[in-house]
């Protein structure tokens, strides 16, 4: 498997939280994708891997939106008065 394919597989692992190297719940960024793909931290650079970095940013935003929605739902459930 090529290094780029490993990086995309690592991105999918982070997206689904089914990690093989890092601990579950790790942040989704260039460094964690690199580490999950068994590369050095900082090896994914925007100038060399434009499409991969854009995919990481897009998926990180998507995951953040989902987390925010779940967090706000939890917050609403805790605020409701008891009946």
Dist CA 4 CA 55 (whole Å): 13
From first CA to last CA, the distance across the chain in angstroms is 58
The predicted pLDDT at position 73 comes to 85
Please tell me the pTM assigned to this model. 0.79
Hey, what are 73's tokens?
């739902």
* Total domain count, the chain: 1
Q: Which domain holds residue 73?
A: 3-79
Q: What does the pLDDT look like over 25-61, one tens digit per residue?
A: 889 999 999 999 999 999 999 999 999 999 999 999 9
Contacts of 33 (CB under 8 A, 6+ apart): 7, 10, 11, 14, 44, 52, 56
The predicted pLDDT at position 78 comes to 78
């Amino acid at each position: 498997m090529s290094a780029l394919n490993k990086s995309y597989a690592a991105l999918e692992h982070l997206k689904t939280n089914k990690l093989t190297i890092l601990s579950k719940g790790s942040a989704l960024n260039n460094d964690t994708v690199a580490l999950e793909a068994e590369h050095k931290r900082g090896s994914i650079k925007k100038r060399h891997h434009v499409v991969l970095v854009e995919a990481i940013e897009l998926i990180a935003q998507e995951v953040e939106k989902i987390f925010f929605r779940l967090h706000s739902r939890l917050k609403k459930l805790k605020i409701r008065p008891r009946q």
